[in-house]
Chain A
């Protein structure tokens, strides 16, 4: 599909995202996401955004702050509090050739549009031969004391729908490169921004407008030889801290960041297992039927003869995300839990 350029130089007239990089040029995860949106809005005028309070208010987490001034209310569209309508409008707009990017205040609320997402968005291309280049974005995940309505990891529900690419980046660069890829992709995708990472993690991020990260590729964030930790989202950062502590004790953990949970990059996972022969699958969606369940099954099925120990899963129990801080801490895998799980695995 041809790309249509908006007039050049628009960004040079003082209009830019409100959120800025730091003096050192580093971008937070949130800024990197805003940059990806901004660049793709500038690059292709078919791209537009819709969601609750994304205009003047700048979005629940201020990702889209400053956008309405630059791109106007027709491309930064405030909607009623009706998620089913947001998805339905996105589907309709995509049918007509636009490239909608819908924001949800919390990924929890996507389930109000569940039917539109799972039966329409995921299957329409199959049924009608019409691709739907829709991106649904929303903040997911726990660890921020936001309780059970604002903390979930909905990726397994939508991965199960089958026709939607599910992206869960852990780093600013990956977030920027993957969101740009998702907007350019003719297939529907769900872009889950872990809210614990938003302002915590920053790094140098490419300013090249053509910087893209391919969807469906995992990335080894830390090389190791003894145990593979297969994870994604906020758990990547906990795993990296745990790996540092484990290294002090002589255990070398390799960390595979899935980045995209559907489709799964089996090749990278299996390559890591061939190297370490031991797998800890760490994930923040529920333990039962969460994303890691599939990862564990793939490893058991395809890397059986490379395993020197059983595949171990570490994930929250299937209960609501607690509000009480001690309970939420107990619910989510913590660094000490990861260390303990790796110790058990290494000593198996």
Chain B
């Protein structure tokens, strides 16, 4: 018998929600066949079966949020000899071994042979080997530990997961949800002062406690009440933590992209034909930005306690909106790609983001982020920094404007490039030099050759 547990999708993920069971009790499964869909703070994904066999038992109901490592289902392996311990999942087996004195002898996982689900595990003194009715619904709460640790805190910095004994005690005594308290200590740690500030402000009621039923909201007649999704909650926490944890400043430059507009008009059909994807301005801006990041590595860094880490590579986060909200897939190693490579990577990531097929690894590790609200028509934006990045660049809409060139008024395609940046790490001069470099690249580079058409 193999016990399937809530997987840990990323080192900072502590819990996940079962969105949907794709198999029912009694269903047969192939190895690698999807068993269920889960939602975590980072990503929604399907979880494949590690073994082939028959679903014996489902332990957690859809919609339930449980800590990583919680047993979710049991699968009887195909062809496994009766009574043999399964190869992996030792902890899961132990969890379901019977209470002492119950019938099965040592060696005990003892899947009682046949198809009908035998309840082996329920510890509350069942008559020995009493077969459970096959149709009995799986008790959802059986496997979910009663004490969901106080320690489910979003990753807001290298030390945000460190909870001192005092902080744990205060949170318990005052029934605080630590996930709602931003840490101002070093590395994002929640300090005594942070907790005391919440207690003294009187806001000591849990706001959005994970896996708790939502308190009945006060809604008027006709109002639509929509529960906060996992993704929405993660976005909310991330954005709030960034707003409260960075010294955000903002700078904008305007760029003459007339020649890029003309270039794109000229090559877009050939590009699509040759590479199978549309050429947009975004890859060009990414290329121009990567060059500036390599020139000004502080912008491509992060603050880590007492140190500033300057990354040797550029992992470009690209904000992508999709039906569930917003997600930031990462073009890994963007500094090693030409414009076509960047364009392909963005097209691939965006398509899979919208299809909910990103892996957790693909939404982590950005060293800088670009957001692209231009297609929706904005001409200037003040984005929130995607922590722990130092900056986020906004590419707004390209519009034709009258500009002064050589003391004459001309019509040109112009775009505003703006950046929100963390004043803790860099200053205005550097931020502006960086943006000026991006601008200079876009205005002076000849992308025609790079696009290969």
Q: Nearest-CB distance from B424 to chain A (Å)?
A: 15
Q: Which residues of B contact A23 (CB under 8 A)?
A: none
Q: Report whether A305 and B185 are in contact in the complex, using a CB–CB cutoff of 8 Å.
A: no
Number of A-B residue pairs at CB separation under 8 A: 26
From A305, A347, A348, contact of B169 by CB (8 A)? A305
User: Of the candidates B166, B185, B186, B189, which one forms a contact with A307 in the assembled complex, judged by CB atoms under 8 Å apart?
Assistant: B166
Contact check, B165 vs A306: say whether CB atoms are below 8 A apart. Answer: yes
A347 touching B165, Cβ below 8 Å: no
Q: Which residues of B contact A348 (CB under 8 A)?
A: 185-186, 189
Q: Which residue of B lies closest to A306 (CB)?
A: B166
Q: In the assembled complex, which residues on chain A have CB atoms less than 8 Å from the CB atom of B166?
A: 277, 305-308
Interface size class of B (residues with CB under 8 A): 10 to 19
Nearest B residue (CB) for A309: B164
Report chain B residues within 8 Å CB of A277.
Answer: 164, 166, 192
Which of B166, B167, B192 has the most A CB atoms < 10 Å from its CB? B166
**B186: shortest Cβ distance to chain A, in Å?**
6
Closest to B185 in A: A348
A137 to B343, CA, bound (A): 83
Asked if A124 lies at the interface with its beta carbon under 8 angstroms from chain B, I say no
A347: chain B residues at CB < 8 Å are 185-186
Cα A347 to Cα B159 with chains together (Å): 12
With most chain A CB atoms within 10 A of its CB, the pick from B164, B168, B186 is B164
Determine how close the nearest CB of chain B comes to the CB of A278; give it in whole angstroms: 8
Q: Determine how close the nearest CB of chain B comes to the CB of A144; give it in whole angstroms.
A: 37
The docked-state distance in angstroms from the alpha carbon of A281 to that of B125 is 52
A157 within 8 A of B: no
Instruction: Tell me the chain A residues, 304-348 only, with Cβ under 8 Å from chain B.
Output: 304-309, 347-348
> Is B191's CB within 8 Å of the partner chain A?
yes
Report chain A residues within 8 Å CB of B192: 277, 308
How many angstroms between the C-alpha atoms of A347 and B187 in the bound complex? 10
Chain A residues near B169 (CB-CB < 8 A): 305-306
- Measured CB to CB, the closest approach of chain B to A235, in angstroms, equals 26
Contact residues of B between 159 and 189, Cβ < 8 Å to A? 164-169, 185-186, 189
CB closest chain-A residue, reference B192: A308
Return A270 CB to nearest CB of chain B, in Å. 13
Q: Which residues of B contact A307 (CB under 8 A)?
A: 164-166
Cβ-closest 10 pairs across A and B? A308-B192, A305-B169, A308-B166, A308-B164, A305-B165, A304-B165, A277-B192, A277-B166, A307-B165, A347-B186
Can you list 14 A-B pairs, Cβ within 8 angstroms, ordered by A? A277-B164, A277-B192, A304-B165, A305-B169, A306-B169, A307-B164, A307-B166, A308-B164, A308-B165, A308-B167, A308-B192, A309-B164, A347-B185, A348-B185
New A-B pairs, 10, CB < 8 Å, besides A305-B168, A308-B165, A347-B186: A277-B166, A305-B165, A307-B164, A307-B165, A307-B166, A308-B164, A308-B191, A308-B192, A347-B185, A348-B186
